[in-house]
Amino acid sequence: MNPQEQWLSCQWEESFLREDHEDYLLGRGGSDESINRLGVMSWTPSTTPSPCTSFRKWFGETGTALRGYFVCPLYSPSGRCVGFFSRHAEVKKFFLYLIPPQLKWLPTFIGLTQEDQGYLNNRRVWLVEGIFDYFAMSRIVPEGDIVLACLRASISRLQLQFLVRTKPQQIFVVFDRDEAGLKGSQFAYEYLSRRGLFVQQVSYRGGKDPGEIWDSSGEYGLRKEFRSWI
């Protein structure tokens, strides 16, 4: 464990989820189970400076620039904490931070926790774009399935290579229904299918993404829209 990993581990131990952040996440589709599974917490500036130069440059020595954000720790396939995703609850502003040099060679997803440690074989995987899509789909997928958010409008080659190595039983691609999402969905489908994985692109209406369907019609709307897939 490098110094920045140790520093972040101390942050997670000392932080908690504020009530207003919890209410916000519950309103955006989160459940107590999914919020706890991801380990989401409110950022609290540290009492000691970060040892990471890039962290200090972006967020200040103790992370004061992240005040008001909730954070979701990100883990490598081996279970190491390699960074975090953070989002402000009042304005649409977010950051993705990965401890250098992990950014270059480790696949990261929201939903890949210490408990999973990358072992997805014989499990069905649902790929989505963002954290609110993760919360929405986590409410309706069958028990035992795993939802992974790619944190972008597409999927990286590192993430794709990770899926090829772990060989899930089946992969459902549930990206946004905009141009970038449809393009990313097709790319993921072609890449994974050519390597022998069972992949399906999930079509749906009722919203641009699962999170938007939750916002407009709740769990009932999600189950109605995805009933033929789940």
pLDDT recorded at residue 117: 53
> Greater confidence, 53 or 104?
53
Parallel, antiparallel or unpaired: strands 41-42 and 69-75: antiparallel
Question: Which of the residue ranges 25-29, 50-54, 105-109 would you say has the lowest mean pLDDT?
Answer: 105-109
Radius of gyration of the chain (CA): 17
pLDDT per position as a tens digit, 55-64: 999 999 999 9
Model confidence pLDDT, tens digit, residues 78-130: 888 889 999 998 888 899 999 987 666 788 899 987 666 556 778 899 999 99
pLDDT value at 6 more than 60: yes
Share of the chain above pLDDT 90, in %: 78
Contacts of 74 (CB under 8 A, 6+ apart): 81, 82, 83, 84, 85, 98, 108, 109, 110, 112
Share of the chain above pLDDT 70, in %: 96
CA distances from 123 to 117, 142, 169, 227 (A): 13, 11, 5, 19
Confidence of residue 30 (pLDDT cuts 50, 70, 90): very high
Mean pLDDT of the chain: 92
At residue 102, the pLDDT reads 62
CA 187/CA 48 separation, integer angstroms: 43
Write out the DSSP string of 20-86: HHHHHHHHTT--HHHHHHHT-EE----SS--S-HHHHHHH-TT-GGGTTEEEEEEE-TTS-EEEEEE
Q: What is the mean pLDDT of residues 187-213?
A: 95
Question: What domains can be seen in the chain, in order of their start residue?
Answer: 3-105 (3.90.980), 124-225 (3.40.1360.10)
Mean pLDDT, residues 221-230: 94
Check residue 103 and give its pLDDT.
60
Distance CA 132, CA 212 (A): 8
Residues 6+ apart with CB under 8 A from 87: 69, 70, 93, 94, 95, 131
Residues 6 or more apart in contact with residue 131 via CB below 8 angstroms? 38, 72, 85, 87, 110, 149
